[in-house]
Structures are given as structure tokens and as C-alpha cells.
Amino acid sequence: MDAVLSIDTLAAGLRLALPVALAALGALLCERSGVLNLGLEGLMLCGALAGYLVTDSTGSPWVGLFAGLVIGGLCGALLGGAVVYLAANQVVAGLAFSLIAVSATTYVYEGSYDIGQSPPRIERISMPPLVILTLVVLGIVVVLLRSTLSGLVLTATGESPVAVDALGYSVQRTRFFTTIGGSALAGLGGAVLVCGPLGLFIQNVTAGRGWVALALVVFAGWKPVPCVVGAFLFGVCDAAQLRIQGTDTGVPYEVFLALPYVVTLVAMVVRGRRSRTPATLGVAFHRSTA
Amino acid sequence: MTMRSKNHRRWTSLLAAGALTISIAACGSDDETTDATEAPAATEAPAATEAPAATEAPAATEAPAATEAASGDAPKLAVVYSAEWQDGSWGEFAYDGANQLLADGAVSAVELQENVQPGADAQNAMRALAEDGFSPIIAHSFNYGDDVKLVASEFPETIFVYAGGFGDVAANVGDYSQPFFEAAYLEGILAAGAVDGDVAGAGGFDIPVCRAMKNAFLAGAQELDPDTTGTFVAVGDWYDVQLAKEAALGQADQGATRFIGCGQGPTFGQIEAANEIGGVSMGYVGDMSALGESVLASFTWNLGAVFQLMVDDVVAGKTEAQYYEVLLKDGGMDIVINPAWESKISPEAMTLFEEKLAAIQDGSFEVPFDAES
């Protein structure tokens, strides 16, 4: 049991948490402005593939991270254009994007290497710079939301778009650019996964981390610091359950596999009473009918 | 309702319909049907240098048997898989094995469908293949078990086989063995001759094939290092490399240095972890020597030989499937030692490895199958 309650477990939790935390911060921004970004899993995958391919061709994982950020933002522009300006159903558009992204990234990846060829491992970034990067992103999101006019407008757009519109701010432009920014962070999260702990890409490499990030936003009550703390908690639970399996407990392993989800569920139930969903989350804004 | 609102709804409907159409098209399986007369797959097969069997397959243009098979007498083989063929492992060897049979003229056509998800997708795909006259239809994943049994009951004249690995046979539903534990045992001997430390096994889930691999690997290591112990971790996913790597690092924290994975994701994760801590790892279904300096040995899987048994049953007119098994002694697998490690393995381990390999091949020794501990 000493192996479970150790610094190594916390370090492993941190490694597991970083990609999810960045994606969750991206989702949080989108949701605070009223856009339910269900394309998060697909955005992470696109960012991961971009990070991998660019690092492979340039030799610099930092350039790979930047590529993940940019591709995430570009995909966010596509998604944002659909759900904000065309008022597409946010659930359908987000899910469709994630489905397409799984296939598209597989297609591009397959086309990049011949069958029978071993895709190369890429240069990786060590954990300390990635931890600092995540904390910097967290700091920017906190300052943006708490201490800037833009952050206030962003939050108000999710709560009362009519009031924001009446004050002369553009609801659609705010949501569009927030979706781009949030999606860029999700892409960065995917790139961090590939350019940080892994150094490789395989089909569906994110393995559902985007969906976990979406749940974390609810768990965190749409607040950035609890969002990152929740990602760390989830990561530590995952790291702990893997280590507990290595000890002879006699408990079925399925119980341990469920541990992170049980902890998240309990935390959401406990925190649920105090959480406050953005009032117009998932609702398109039509100025003419507002 | 204003005109603009109507336009918005119209756009929304169009976008949703478009997105769904694209996603359905994109998510649909990538079909690849090849006739022996066309035989592009046969010429592609030798390109997969990882598959020794495939490299032996002659080009279709040089193979009279292939043109003979084009008369239509030979059965049509179909393989469906839940991920991409190009995975450097499990999928790729099925791709090579099927194309090898086509190149040999054992089948008149091959249909290869990748990214077919278990459930409704797999059932629809297999129904369509059965209606098109394909038999045997091979579902190349453990997760297809329920789908195969459902569809097979509708086509009693067609042989369906899935990768159960535990003898799950009934009527026209067959299963094929994955005797990887034999290779794992030999790899355990090599690992014990390369580094000191405990054994770490990991699989996507705790299934008999994976558990037996780890136990055989441990038994092999204990031939030279009786005090070594081992643990097994189920990652909970066949493709989550990060989780698998963390599982392996957790085992390393408890003293493991000799890693063996079951499944592509767990194996990739273990290789990465072993690279970091200076341990040794084993490649899984494919020569993974190029994936990291820690890869000591790998095993390749001659799926062409396994598929041939199924085709033989169809040719013989059988409608009852079997448990198809090709063991190491029958050429079912090959052990590939990473050239970079050959000089670092102790002579004692190499000698024992060669003795045990010879004993397995001549039938005087059987690796014990233990999927319990």
C-alpha cells in the first residue's frame, strides 16, 4: 500500500491530469459564454495529431504544441461558425464534429505512413515546463474571467445575452471568439498529451479524455481553479487504481477501474447544490427574436 | 416567426443533415474487396515486411494458383476489425494473413473492413458479407462475440469465427486461439538473461489470453531467476497508451523491470515506460524493435495459417466451425530478438532459450497454460 500512497502516485496523477485540465479550461470558457462544446474530444484528437505530425517534421515539440493550439482554434472557428452564426444545434454539431474528427484523424494518420512501417517516436517535453504552461493558462483564464471587462462580457453572454446585446456588445462575436479560444485550449490539451507524456500517436489516442473534461466543468461548477483541481483529483484516482491493482487485494479489478468515475460522481453530487449552470448554456442567440 | 428565424432553422437543418451525412460516411467502414484476378493486395502483401508469412507470399502475377482460384471455386474470405489495419500489430497481421491466402490462391476474393464498431455496425457488416456469399467471415476482435453469435444464427450455411481465444465454439460459430503464452514463456527466459528485477504484465482487460501471457512470461523468467515475482494490471482500455504507461510506471515503482503487454495500447505504454526506466519490454504481435531501445524481443503471428484452417473447412463443405489453433510448433508464431540486444543477453539465457524453443517445436515440451494466478 506504500506504493499507492506515494509521491510517485501524485506525479502520475499530474501527468494524467494536464491534458484533461487544459481541455476542461477550454470547455469552461465556451460554456461560460453559453456555448456547449461537445466537440471537445474531437478537438483534442485534432490537436494531438497536429502536435505529432508537426513535431515529427520539425523536430521541435514546442512547435508541435503551437500547432495543436492553432489547429484547435481553426477547428473551433468551424464549430463556432456553425453553432453561433448558423445557430446549429450545439449538441448535434458538437457530437458530429467529434465523430468526424475520430475518422478524419485516423484517415490522415493512416495516409502519413505506409502499412508495415513503424511511425516514429517524437521528441518529448518534460513535465515541469508543461506544469508551468498549464498554470500559466489557468492564471490567464482566472484573470480574464475575474478581472477584465472582456471576461465580464463573456460571462454575461452566457447568463443574459439580451442584456449584453442591449449594452451594445455583440453576443455572437463574443461567443464565436470564445469558442475559438476554448477550442484552441482543447487542441493544446491534445498536443500536450502527445508531445509530453507519450511521444507517439495512435488511432483515438485521447481515449475519451475530452468527455472527462466536459464532466469536470460541471464538477467544478464552471470555475477554473476547481476545474484544474478536479482534473488532478481524477488523475490521482486513476494513478492510484492502477497501483492498487498491482497489490494483492482480492478485490475484482473492475471496482478499481470504476474508482475515478465513482469519485467524480460523488463529488458532483456533493457539489451539485452549489453549482450554477450558465443560464443560456446551449441556447442559440437570435437578436431579432430576443 | 420572422424570416431570419426561418432561415436560421433552415440552415440548422441543412448543417445538421450535412454533418451527419459526412460523419456517417466518414465513420463507415473502409471496405477493401480484392479479387484474385485483380490481385493488387497480393502485391501489397509482401511490402509488409513485419510479416514473415506475407513476405513469402508470391506476387499474384507469378502465382498460377491465384488465377486458378479466380474461377470462383475457392471461397471468399472476409475479415472485419474494430480499429485500423495499419496499427503495426493485431490488425496489420490479419490484413497480411488474408492477403497471403489471396496471393496463394486459397481464396478467390478478400473483403477487409476496418473501423467496424461492435454492435449494430458489426452485425450489419457481417449480414451484408454473408448475403454476398463470403465464408468464412472472421470478426477479428474479442468484442465481436455477441454480434457473431446473433448473425450466425441467421446464416447457418456460413462459417463465422471471432477472436475469443478460449474455445467458444457452437454450430457455425468458431473461435481461434491466440497461444501467445508460448512466445511469452520464451521471452521471459530472454528477459531474465538481460536485466534483473520483477515482471510486469498488462492487458486492456483481465482476460485469459492476457493473464496467461504474463504467467508464462513469469514462468520463463523464473527458469533463470526463481525469486522473481510478477504483477498484472488491467488498464481498462485496449488503446489508452497514457494509462498503460502509467500502469507500467506504477509497476516499475514496485520493482518491475521486465515488461510484457497484451494488446496494442498496453504494449506501447509498457515500451515507453521501459524506455524511461531502463528496463526491457516485449513487442506484441509484430516486430516492435524499432519502437524503443527497451524492446528486447517480439513475436509475430502467422494469421495466414490460422485463416487457412477456416478456409479448409469451407472448402470441405463443413457448416460446423471449430476452435482453430496453430501453435508455435506448427509455425503459428516466430520470436524476433532485437539485434541491438543479442549481445547483451547472457549466454546461459540464450542457450536455455534455444533448448526450450527446440523442445517446443519437436513437441517434447509444452508451455503450461495458466490463466488463474
A41, A208 in Cβ contact below 8 A?
A: yes
Res. B237: pLDDT tops 70 = yes
pLDDT at B54 over 90: no
For A11, name the nearest residue in chain B, comparing CA atoms only: B246
Q: Which of B27, B47, B288 sits opposite A99 (nearest CB)?
A: B27
Taking an 8 Å cut-off on Cβ atoms, the answer to whether B243 and A238 are in contact is yes
Q: Which long-range contacts link B281-284 to residues 24+ away (Cβ below 8 Å)? A: B282/B184, B282/B187, B282/B191, B282/B217, B283/B336, B284/B89, B284/B90, B284/B180
Which tens digits make up the pLDDT trace of B65-84?
A: 333 444 457 899 999 999 88
Measured between CA atoms, how close is B308 to chain A, in angstroms?
A: 22
Phi, psi angle pair for B95, to nearest 5° = -60, -50
Structure confidence at residue B26 as a pLDDT band (50, 70, 90): very low
Nearest CA in chain A to B293: A121
Q: What is the pTM of this model?
A: 0.83
pLDDT confidence of residue B33: 59
Q: What value does the mean pLDDT take over residues B330-356?
A: 95
Query: Is the CB of A86 less than 8 angstroms away from the CB of B11?
Result: yes
pLDDT of residue B13: 45
Q: What pLDDT sits at residue A7?
A: 87
Contact: B8, A193; criterion CB under 8 Å: no
User: Please, what are the domains in chain A?
Assistant: 7-280 (1.10.3470)
Q: How far is B42 from chain A (nearest CA, A)?
A: 14
Q: Which fold has domain B30-176+304-329?
A: Rossmann fold (3.40.50)
| Domain coordinates in residue numbering, chain B | 30-176+304-329, 180-300+341-361
Contact A246 B288 (CB under 8 A): no
pLDDT at A4: 67
Q: Do A3 and B254 touch (CB under 8 A)?
A: yes
Q: How far is Cα B78 from Cα B129, in angstroms, rounded to an integer?
A: 7
CATH architecture of B180-300+341-361: 3-Layer(aba) Sandwich (3.40)
Q: Which amino acid is at B336?
A: V
For residue B323, the distance in angstroms to the closest alpha carbon of chain A comes to: 29
Residue B136 preceded by cis peptide, ω within 30? yes
User: For chain A, how far is it from start to end, CA to CA, in angstroms?
Assistant: 59
Q: Provide mean pLDDT across the span A184-191.
A: 97
Return d(Cα B150, Cα B66) in angstroms, integer: 33
Residues of A in contact with B116 (CB under 8 A): none
Per-position b or e across A91-130, b if 16+ CB within 10 A of its CB: ebbbbbbbbbbbbbbbeebbebeebbeebebbebbeeeeb
Q: Is the pLDDT of residue B6 over 50?
A: no
Q: Please state the length of chain B.
A: 373
Cα A270 to Cα A251: distance, rounded to the nearest angstrom: 26
B20·A238 Cβ contact <8 A? no
Q: How far B46 CA sits from the closest chain A CA (Å)?
A: 10
Tell me how far CA of residue B343 lies from CA of B64, B186, B347, in angstroms. Answer: 44, 17, 9
Q: What is the percentage of chain B residues whose pLDDT exceeds 90? A: 69
Q: pLDDT grade, residue B35 (50/70/90)?
A: low
Residues in chain A with CB shorter than 8 Å from the CB of B15 are: 82, 86, 88, 93
For residue B204, the chain A residue with the least C-alpha distance is: A257
A-B contacts at Cβ under 8 angstroms: 155
Instruction: Give the best residue of A130, A243, A289 to mutate against chain B (max B CB count within 10 A).
Output: A243
Digit-coded pLDDT (tens) for A72-97: 999 999 999 999 999 999 999 999 99
Contact A207 B240 (CB under 8 A): yes
Chain A closest CA to B257's CA: distance in Å? Answer: 14
Q: Cα(A57)–Cα(A175) distance, rounded to whole angstroms?
A: 34
Residue type, A236: V
B285 vs A contacts (CB less than 8 Å): none
From residue A255, give the alpha-carbon distance in Å to each of A258, A260, A262, B372. Answer: 5, 10, 10, 19
Place of cell 461492435: B118
Compute φ and ψ for B154, nearest 5 degrees: -85, -15
Kindly list the residues from chain B whose CB atom is less than 8 angstroms away from the CB atom of residue A253: 206, 233-234
Mean pLDDT of B138-154: 95
CB contact under 8 A, B246 and A121: no
Chain A, nearest residue to B91 by Cα: A115
Mean local confidence (pLDDT), B136-154: 95
Instruction: Quickly state the pLDDT bin for B166 (edges 50, 70, 90).
Output: confident
Q: For residue A110, which residues of chain B lie inside 8 Å, CB to CB?
A: 84, 86
Q: What is the pLDDT of residue A23?
A: 97
Least confident of A58-62, B20-24, B91-95: B20-24
Confidence of residue A274 (pLDDT cuts 50, 70, 90): low
Sheet with B333-337: strands ordered across: B230-234, B198-203, B256-262, B280-283, B295-301, B333-337
Q: How far A92 CA lies from chain B's nearest CA (Å)?
A: 7
Q: Cβ atoms within 10 A of the Cβ of A7, count?
A: 8
Mean pLDDT computed over B20-36: 46
Q: Please choose, from the candidates A51, A85, A90, A77, the residue with its C-alpha nearest in 3D space to the C-alpha of residue A188.
A: A51
Residue B62: predicted pLDDT: 34
Residue A236: closest C-alpha in chain B? B246
Nearest CA in chain B to A100: B23
Q: What average pLDDT score do residues B272-292 get?
A: 92
State the smallest CA–CA distance between residue B232 and chain A in angstroms: 6
How confident is residue A121, by pLDDT bands cut at 50, 70 and 90? confident
Of A12, A116, A284, the CB nearest to B48: A116
Q: Write down the residue that cell numbers 469558442 correspond to.
A: A179
pLDDT bin (cut points 50, 70, 90) of residue B59 is very low
Instruction: Pick from B249, B259, B300, B372 the residue to mutate for testing the A interface (most A CBs within 10 Å).
Output: B249
